[in-house]
Amino acid sequence: MSGKLNYFLGLLSGIALMIIAWVAFMPFVSSIQMQMPTRSTAPATAVAVEMDTDAIVQKINQIHQIIDTNFLGEFDLNHAIEMMFAGFVEGAGDPYTIYMDAATFRSFREETEGSFIGIGVSITVDPTDNRILVISPFEGSPAFEAGMLPGDKIIRINGYEVFGDGVNEAIRMMRGEAGTEVVVTVYRESDSTTFDLPITRAVIEVETVRSNILDNNIGYIRISQFDRVTYDQFVSAYNRLMDENIGGLILDLRNNPGGLLDVVNRITDMLVPEGIITYTEDVHGRRVYVPSDERQIEIPLIVLVNGNSASASEVLSGAVLDTGVGELLGTTTFGKGLVQNVFTLRDGSAVKVTVARYFTPSGISIHGEGITPTHYVEMPVELTNNLMRLSIEEDIQLLEAMSLMNELIER
């Protein structure tokens, strides 16, 4: 047996022993979908799992010897070990619970901070076919400029077929040095076409908030996702509009895939009255409540949502709906009501684990269901997919929101 394999088998044994004793790691940062609050209502309990580590090590050794002796091609042991860890975590059967090697985790941290090198696209795994689903390209990103749309499925990268259970590898393939090209093959279900998109990687400085003043002094803020930079960007836009004495605010969360829970909570706290923004409940039934203070928006509020408004977007939408501080307009949201924590490992890798469900203030779990807006306004798929490229005159939902806002202002 090679020295390298001995090292990794020893490492595996150590990991298995840690699972038996269960070492609790402190969460470093959330997934793009949601961050779990750090305070808890009850102490963590130890979990004991019986595992025959010797049998596992022997089996891996046997498999390696078979491959080493008989395999016709090149065998990358480092890659195989990483895939083994990924496969172990995949055994949870949850598309949001994943293993990230050190490189993937570094990229993940960069992305949630609002700056990274890549093509600029938010993705998830479609559980129905295990394909990589585009939630939304970032506005102005290389993926956006190349024509990638929400709902596209990434099926190949540089000619290599990719699937949801290999999403970490897919992310790594789309990352690289700024100025280099990657060819992403997408399947567009809306017109049943498959085509290549050559995309030049770039430094992505994510501008998550955009704002302006519409007709009749209506304020408009669009949040594309909830990253670390989003709160400051929102406060700046919100205060500027309020200084202009707008008569009402339209907050656009369409095609927003979510983000960090602490960020969306701080933004929601600025809008809703004193009470509960959301609460989470873990596998042990322990609840963590997120309170809001007495500060709230004092002008009419409309939140725009659609089927691509997910997770953190649904926290804000649910709080606005339940507290009655504003109206929701659009179509039913995505329905992701799960919270992930990221647990860092000693070698720089990490495991992102679904640890809780979140609930709206009235106690509704929207996972798998979504939130139905108070004003249901559909829009053709081709317009929804090109949302960021539409003029106001083409945006059916925004026009309806403006019409409704005029009525609310006149009351």
Question: DSSP assignment of 1-34, as one string?
Answer: --HHHHHHHHHHHHHHHHHHH-PPPPB----SS-
Domains and CATH numbers, the chain: 3-94 (no CATH), 115-205 (2.30.42.10), 209-410 (3.90.226.10)
Specify the pLDDT at position 114: 64
User: Residue 107's pLDDT is what?
Assistant: 77
Q: Measured between alpha carbons, how far is 222 from 380 in angstroms, rounded to an integer? A: 20
- C-alpha R_g of the chain: 23
In this structure, the dihedral spanned by the alpha carbons of residues 395, 398, 400 and 402, taken in order and rounded to 10 degrees, is -130
Tens of pLDDT along the chain (411 residues)? 455 455 444 444 444 333 322 222 222 333 334 443 333 333 344 444 567 888 888 999 999 999 989 999 999 888 889 899 999 999 999 988 999 998 888 878 877 776 678 898 888 888 889 999 998 888 788 999 999 998 899 999 999 999 988 888 898 899 888 999 999 999 998 889 999 999 999 988 778 899 999 999 999 999 998 988 899 999 999 999 999 999 999 999 999 989 889 999 999 999 999 999 999 999 999 999 999 999 999 999 999 999 999 999 999 999 999 999 999 999 999 999 999 999 999 999 999 999 999 999 999 999 999 999 999 999 998 888 778 778 999 999 999 999 999 999 988
| CA nearest to 318, candidates 289, 358, 288 | 358
What pLDDT sits at residue 35?
41
pLDDT of 370:
95
What is the DSSP annotation of 356-376?
EEEE-TTS---TTT----SEE
- Give residues with Cβ within 8 angstroms of 187, minimum separation 6: 131, 152, 153, 155, 193, 194
Q: Is 280 helix (H, G, I), strand (E, B) or coil?
A: strand
Identify the sign of the CA torsion 315, 319, 321, 322. positive
Q: Write out the H or E segment, with its range, that includes residue 223.
A: strand 218-223
Contact at 8 Å (CB) between 308 and 255? yes
Catalytic residue annotation: 311, 322, 336
327-330 vs 375-376, strand pairing mode: parallel
Distance CA 44, CA 137 (A): 38
Enter the tokens of residue 391: 């003029």
Report the SS3 class of residue 193.
Answer: strand
How far is the C-alpha of 156 from the C-alpha of 158, rounded, in Å?
A: 6
Residue with tokens 């050559």: 198
CA–CA distance, 3 with 7 (Å, rounded to integer): 6
Q: What does the block give as tokens for 153? A: 């499925």
Q: For residues 34 and 258, what is the distance between their CA atoms, to the nearest angstrom? A: 7
The amino acid sitting at 383 is L
How many angstroms separate the CA atoms of 288 and 409, rounded?
37
DSSP string, 81-117: HHHHHHHHHHTT--TT-EEE-HHHHHHHHHHHHTEEE
pTM, two decimal places:
0.71
Give the C-alpha distances (Å, rounded to integers) separating 343 from 27, 77, 99, 354. Answer: 5, 25, 10, 11
